[in-house]
A and B are shown apart, each in its own frame.
Chain A
Amino acid sequence: MLSILIWLPILGAAVISLLPRTIPAINIRLTALTVTGLVLLWNIFLLFKFDISLPGMQLQEYLPWNETLGLSYQLGVDGLSIVMLLLNSLLTWIAIYSSSQQTERPRLFYSLILLVSAGVAGAFAAQNLLLFFLFYELELIPFYLLISIWGGEKRTYAAMKFLIYTAVSGALILATFLGTVWLSGSTSFDYNTLSTQALSTTLQIILLVGIVLGFGIKIPLVPLHTWLPDAYVEASAPIAILLGGVLAKLGTYGVLRFGMALFPEAWSILAPSLATWGAISAIYGAVTAIAQKDIKRMVAYSSIGHMGYILLAAAASTSLALIGAIAQMFSHGIILAILFHLIGVVEAKVGTRELDKLNGLMSPIRGLPLTSALLILGGMASAGIPGMTGFIAEFIVFQGSFSVFPIPTLLCVVASGLTAVYFVILLNRTCFGKLDNDLAYYPKVLWSEKIPAFILAVLILFLGVQPSWLVRWSEPTSTAIVAAIPPIEKTVTTQVALDQ
């Protein structure tokens, strides 16, 4: 069942890379779309097969692989991963759809995207630590190539930076995985047989710090984030969608799955500092975004801010906050995707991303009215305006965390306000104002180019109005994860909160 999500894209990648050279790019794109469309349909089918009342792993698959290493091909989903799997296949489809029809070297491009999609799906479904790591490292090289071949001006630098940061993150994660499994006396890397109860608290904290740092590079948390603006900005629109929408979620997923769920005791000890860290990250992302002159860079920094909320919610570790974290992961994914897609359209039509040069795109005749309207919607969703999915997720996060960490939560609320500030700046400078009469002869935006944005916009609005469809998948799972975590001592919390 789950294997299809991994192997169908790989098969597709193999087929595409073997297609003869004479086939035009557009047909290759069509093939890739078909393959990912099938994967998406299959994923939706699995969503219906998924029993939302059960907290544990479902749809499990097991194949022995390598006993010497303790590596087995073990897959399974729970409420946390099923949502992420859907996000992955949805955004892969959107990314391929929003790629240009005249992409250069199409066979390489589409097979790499399919490989990335397979790797991410594998990582979300893997129930063996080593298998997870294998899939985690699998997206390293394809992404490096996707950024460095089809990117902007400084793509070589950006891609190399991405590669090294991700490789360091992988090394940290592998080290902690080896440490966890060996020290806990387990013989295999299977997730469900692993228990860290016997470890001393100091060891648990060391291992947890390794996990948080390793995945924190990927999320990214503030001092570890410097690869992100370069990589997001230099990547082409479809790649940026995948990078921000899907890959960043691997980081938060890893923190939740391998940090929070494996080390509950250490987690409750570290939680106050993690909450503060998340709040700092959120404020930093928002403030830096205000200062940017490039709209893509703005959205990239906004992504840093929004990922900070997830860390806050995870630190609070109430059942509500965790549901909010998962909802925030999904909604951040689709909101970032719509923003990057629209920015890609604007850049393709207008030819610039500079705030100082863009103007008056709302103009009904010679501007890009529909695109700008959708951009406004995306910006509002990102800033947390009610009625859209971003608000729901953030609100659940804040409500869930306030009782535990009042001050970091308030800081995050402030950051959320700052988000509105820079999105207003962005929308004001790009959509409103007057068109420059000498330069404004933009090509028409075709209907086919708008479809992904429409789909995402409908999804954003629907989940904003009907949020139970967003949260129902992960309720039992979050309750189960949270139940294992010892309550965070109030005295410690207020102490830390006051110290800030």
Chain B
Amino acid sequence: MDFANLASQLNAGTILPEGIVIVTLLGVLIVDLILGRTSSRWIGYLAIAGLLASVVALLFEWENINPISFGGAFNGDDLSIVFRALIALTAAVTILMSIRYIEQSGTALAEFIAILLTATLGGMFLSGASELVMIFISLECLSISSYLLTGYTKRDPRSNEAALKYLLIGASSTAVFLYGVSLLYGLSGGETELSAIASEIAISGFGQSLGLVIALVFVIAGIGFKISAAPFHQWTPDVYEGAPTPVIAFLSVGSKAAGFALAIRLLTTAFPLVADEWKFVFTALAVLSMILGNVVALAQTSMKRMLAYSSIGQAGFVMIGLVAGTQAGYASMVFYLLVYLFMNLCGFTCVILFSLRTGTDQIVEYSGLYHKDPLLTLGLSISLLSLGGIPPLAGFFGKIYLFWAGWQAGLYWLVLLGLVTTVVSIYYYIRVVRMMVVKETHEMSEVVKNYPEVSWNLPGYRPLQVGLIATLVATSIAGILSNPIFTLANNSIAHTSILQPTAVVTTQVSAMNNQ
């Protein structure tokens, strides 16, 4: 094999964005080694610059005519580009949030950022991974970094407990996933690439076999853990409560996006023959997640736990798009995840700001915040209302698109359940807004009475302010000016060959002919 052929097989330019992230990661570590803690004042900005550069590099790869790289191990198609950009953006905003938070907890910032960037890398590779071993490695890269981040504030017993729980559940679900993957390898007679697996299984006649269904269910267990779909959700509330808040901001958006990217790619490419089966399983997961996430969130007293259950419910909404399995369905998933990024990160930024200033995250302690900190109140209200799907905020358009796509695919009951649980969710989101806005001066909680003077000049507060305002503006206007995002979401699906109905049909037909 000559060099030119090898280079075209490798097609290494596809992973330039990840390359930039790796260089940034090493840069952060080395700078920290040389300069020590004094570097922490600007090291965060270095990481953010790296992440943004990687997003820009992704832009240049849009509509790449030759997306397959590394001999089929990585697919740089538009679907992966959208998800990689989403994860990189999440990481960038997470770093904005974490500069002050990590400093205040007395731990090192550079190590935190390094682990976060590793998790980002894992997520970005997972978005485009199209080979079993590659999928597993990137999934574990994301998972192990997440465990480390969860237990990062190691003087806090809750953080320790959360990390242990997360590790135990995560490791077992990875093992189950790995078992499913190895079954796939065996069933396909030794193929590891996803499209090859699909055609091999079609040829060998295992199309509806028990083995394939078992492999499917095991794989779904692994995915369900990542996207925290009920009944694989049990880690979510505990981890969200124990882990440092910026970490769960990343987990709730970046890690979930990676999970959905994996779900779309794996299920549509490797399991086209049992599409009805996995759609059925995901219908059940969506129903459970919407009901459980939204109903249990009603009873939460801690903001972080409430957001944890709400994120389970939101995952249920997103799964409507996955179950629909149409182009509009996938596009609505992408769109919802994009706006979910803005609103969830805006919400978490406000939670971080509040807990930095007062040291608590109980919902009752937010009483009367309107009188002391209007900007924070506005930010948290807008983001929560957007999560609840109130017009004209971004979340409203996201939900409408999901429901519309679901309805077009004939999922009437699922959409109706989504509507009902949306009404339920409005109740617990508005409860927080009521605490902040409605309460009078004499009904203020103790911590709000002693609320410190609002000042953005303290070290590390300015990036929080920037992050808050950027996500707040995005949440408020991304709905009204949603056309570019809609176009982006639709194009990312339309340009992706694996999601074209014709492509799937032809592979199946050719497989049948071969038989």
B419 and A174 form a contact (CB under 8 A): yes
B41 within 8 A of A: no
B415 and A175 form a contact (CB under 8 A): yes
| B371: min CB distance to chain A, Å | 9
Q: When chains A and B are docked, how far (Å) is the Cα of A156 from the Cα of B435?
A: 11
B392 and A149 form a contact (CB under 8 A): no
B420 within 8 A of A: yes
| B471: min CB distance to chain A, Å | 20
Chain A residues numbered 146-193 whose CB sits less than 8 Å from any CB in chain B: 148-149, 156, 160, 163-164, 167-168, 170-171, 174-175, 178-179, 182
B490 within 8 A of A: yes
B407 and A179 form a contact (CB under 8 A): yes
B404 and A65 form a contact (CB under 8 A): no
The interface on chain A, measured as residues whose beta carbon lies within 8 A of the other chain's beta carbons, has a size of 30
Q: When chains A and B are docked, how far (Å) is the Cα of A341 from the Cα of B175?
A: 69
B30 within 8 A of A: no
Residues from chain B with a CB closer than 8 A to the CB of A138 are: 390-392
- A69 and B401 contact, Cβ closer than 8 Å, known pairs A134-B396, A138-B392: yes
A145 within 8 A of B: yes
| B290: min CB distance to chain A, Å | 13
B64 within 8 A of A: no
Residues from chain B with a CB closer than 8 A to the CB of A65 are: 483
> What sequence of 0s and 1s flags, for each residue 478-515 of chain B, a beta carbon within 8 Å of any chain A beta carbon?
00001100100010000000000000000000000000
- Interface class of chain A by DSSP: helix
B427 within 8 A of A: yes
Chain B residues numbered 400-457 whose CB sits less than 8 Å from any CB in chain A: 400-401, 403-404, 407-408, 412, 415-416, 419-420, 422-423, 426-427, 430, 433-434, 437-438
- A163 and B420 contact, Cβ closer than 8 Å, known pairs A68-B486, A141-B390, A174-B403: no
A171 and B401 form a contact (CB under 8 A): no
Partner of B438, one of A145, A167, A182: A145
A449 within 8 A of B: no
Residues from chain B with a CB closer than 8 A to the CB of A135 are: 391
Partner of A182, one of B408, B416, B419, B433: B408
- A178 and B407 contact, Cβ closer than 8 Å, known pairs A134-B392, A149-B438, A171-B420: yes
- A164 and B427 contact, Cβ closer than 8 Å, known pairs A65-B483, A66-B482, A179-B407: yes
B312 within 8 A of A: no
Residue of B nearest to A182 (CB): B407
Residues from chain A with a CB closer than 8 A to the CB of B331 are: 68
A263 within 8 A of B: no
A144 within 8 A of B: yes
The interface on chain B, measured as residues whose beta carbon lies within 8 A of the other chain's beta carbons, has a size of 32
Q: When chains A and B are docked, how far (Å) is the Cα of A163 from the Cα of B424?
A: 11
Partner of B437, one of A66, A140, A145, A164: A145
A164 and B423 form a contact (CB under 8 A): yes
Residue of B nearest to A171 (CB): B419
A294 within 8 A of B: no
B346 within 8 A of A: no
Chain A residues numbered 12-26 whose CB sits less than 8 Å from any CB in chain B: none
Residues from chain B with a CB closer than 8 A to the CB of A170 are: 423
Partner of A175, one of B328, B390, B416, B434: B416
Residue of A nearest to B401 (CB): A69
A171 and B390 form a contact (CB under 8 A): no
Q: When chains A and B are docked, how far (Å) is the Cα of A156 from the Cα of B397?
A: 29
B392 and A171 form a contact (CB under 8 A): no
Residues from chain B with a CB closer than 8 A to the CB of A66 are: 397, 482-483, 486
B404 and A171 form a contact (CB under 8 A): no
Partner of A69, one of B392, B404, B423: B404
| B276: min CB distance to chain A, Å | 22
Residues from chain A with a CB closer than 8 A to the CB of B396 are: 134, 137
Q: When chains A and B are docked, how far (Å) is the Cα of A58 from the Cα of B403?
A: 32
Chain A residues numbered 62-80 whose CB sits less than 8 Å from any CB in chain B: 65-66, 68-69
Q: When chains A and B are docked, how far (Å) is the Cα of A130 from the Cα of B433?
A: 26
Q: When chains A and B are docked, how far (Å) is the Cα of A216 from the Cα of B368?
A: 36
B385 within 8 A of A: yes
Residues from chain A with a CB closer than 8 A to the CB of B392 are: 134, 138
- A149 and B437 contact, Cβ closer than 8 Å, known pairs A171-B420, A175-B416, A182-B408: yes
B401 and A140 form a contact (CB under 8 A): no
Q: When chains A and B are docked, how far (Å) is the Cα of A179 from the Cα of B413?
A: 12
Query: Can you report 8 A-B residue pairs in the complex whose CB atoms are below 8 A from each other?
Result: A69-B401, A134-B391, A137-B391, A141-B385, A160-B430, A163-B430, A174-B403, A178-B415
Q: Which A residues are closer than 8 A to B by beta carbons?
A: 65-66, 68-69, 108, 130, 133-135, 137-138, 140-141, 144-145, 148-149, 156, 160, 163-164, 167-168, 170-171, 174-175, 178-179, 182
